[in-house]
Structure 1
């Protein structure tokens, strides 16, 4: 039975770390969003995922940090980051980006050999930085729109377009999934490497939890952080200013945060949300 690429389940949290760094450099006020028609269901799924995290993932991550050294954790992270690069290479080819595919292939083999199976990262020192992409970005480059934002059970934030990256990347491109499909395992041993990666990634995020915990509306923070992170991936970290303005809603003539806050309150009331309006969710400025 094929398995989903669990090492990709925490991609949103990686984005949150990058977003937190950006917040230190400068912020802009994001207008309230009224383009989340599935919000009522999404918030319930978010609450479920958050409960599961507090009950299982976070305790496991805390225990993992206690029994490992920073050097060991860094080697584990390097290994799984490298072993997932074939997913990026496959999507680089689907996006008709041969130079990126060649660079990521070189990075994969350098770290696999000189880096002792990917435990070390000599490729970065040789000028081959980590670049990641997936089938959701591939569909975006083919012109498919985002669709509605959805919060998936266990998997976390996504959109109707991006959710296809889980079955496609997981079934066709993910090395760990391919190994599992082509080898007989009697006791589900193939899950252990992926479980280890999820725990190790969650351990990295413990130090960044404060940003989410102090957010005005944690659900809205994650939703908007996800959308921004995907936008930056689509444009290789440099989206056009007009696209960023449209995402943030500040391209509207006569932009007034107070007026939009009132609109958001009315929209939340009409749609039955019991959470506070996310009008003051900070987002990275374009400067």
Structure 2
């Protein structure tokens, strides 16, 4: 029996680190819509699932405990300020890629946001730019390649980094080496004990701490791997089209343009699984 995809579409706006894909859960569940059929274009699925299991194990053993501890020793205003700082310090990635995409107006807006938050926002710990009508818009080298016509290629689950594609994975070395201020500082400064990596560690822990409240979505997903895979593809599609992809592109990704598509059948399968899932949770544990 085919597995119904746990995804539906909602017009929304990368947190490119270990298990950062959990943030996509909120994006994928913002609004109700037609259930999509199971994906068949995942030739690397066997390997991807093993990598996903490795990432999940590592997250539970290391990153999640660190994020929980971080939340215990900080309050929401502090965590918000730390998040604002890292969001702003990485704006040069967006600015550079806006220029590479031949979008000067977007680059100008991102530059203005970066400078306002860097100065009036006290180094980026506050976000006055949003209140001044300069909303956060992000892009990366994967989107740059897409805008110049490169297809996304097969879906890949990267060790430590999470979901990507054969095209999008190139944003890690390119953006990280050329445009990410944290990476540039780390490789151009020498400290005896590697202190230059501390901001990057704090960034990862900060991002992971923001995802704790969304973990329940993943735990109740029909297929967590498929959920993250399809959520990633959906989010990248909306990024590529600035939040407004054409209807035919959405239908192609959802699969509703395929012969034999039956949303009622898929919905019934989803309901059956949810009932089985609820029954297994309520069943008493055996000795």
Same structural fold, with TM-score higher than 0.5 when normalized by the shorter chain: yes
After TM superposition, the score normalised by the length of structure 2 is: 0.85
Matching residue of 1:173: 179
- Quote the Cα distance in structure 2 between the aligned partners of 1:174 and 1:91: 11
Structure 2 residue 129 is matched with structure 1 residue 123? yes
RMSD: 1.8
Query: For 2:164, what is the secondary structure of its paired residue?
Result: strand
Structure 2 residue 210 is matched with structure 1 residue 201? no
Q: What are the residue-to-residue correspondences of 1:124-273 with 2, within 5 Å?
A: 124-257=130-263
Which of 42, 53, 58 pairs up with 2:48?
42
Q: Higher relative CO (CA 8 A, sep ≥ 6), structure 1 or 2? A: 1
Deviation at 1:200, TM superposition (A): 1.0
Query: For 1:29, what is the secondary structure of its paired residue?
Result: coil
Matching residue of 1:285: none
Deviation at 1:95, TM superposition (A): 0.2
Where do 5+ consecutive residues of structure 2 fail to align? 1-13, 268-272, 274-287
Matching residue of 1:283: none
Query: For 2:258, what is the secondary structure of its paired residue?
Result: coil
Q: What are the residue-to-residue correspondences of 1:3-22 with 2, within 5 Å?
A: 8-9=16-17, 11-20=20-29, 22=30
Deviation at 1:182, TM superposition (A): 1.8
Where do 5+ consecutive residues of structure 1 fail to align? 1-5, 262-275, 277-287
After TM superposition, the score normalised by the length of structure 1 is: 0.85
**51-60 or 26-35, which moves further after superposition?**
26-35
User: 1:7–1:197: 8 Å Cα contact kept in structure 2?
Assistant: no
Deviation at 1:13, TM superposition (A): 3.0
Matching residue of 1:273: none
User: 2:15–2:21: 8 Å Cα contact kept in structure 1?
Assistant: no
User: 1:32–1:260: 8 Å Cα contact kept in structure 2?
Assistant: no
Which of 70, 74, 77 pairs up with 1:71?
77
- Quote the Cα distance in structure 2 between the aligned partners of 1:205 and 1:14: 6
User: 1:7–1:194: 8 Å Cα contact kept in structure 2?
Assistant: no
- Quote the Cα distance in structure 2 between the aligned partners of 1:202 and 1:180: 21
Question: How many corresponding residue pairs?
Answer: 254
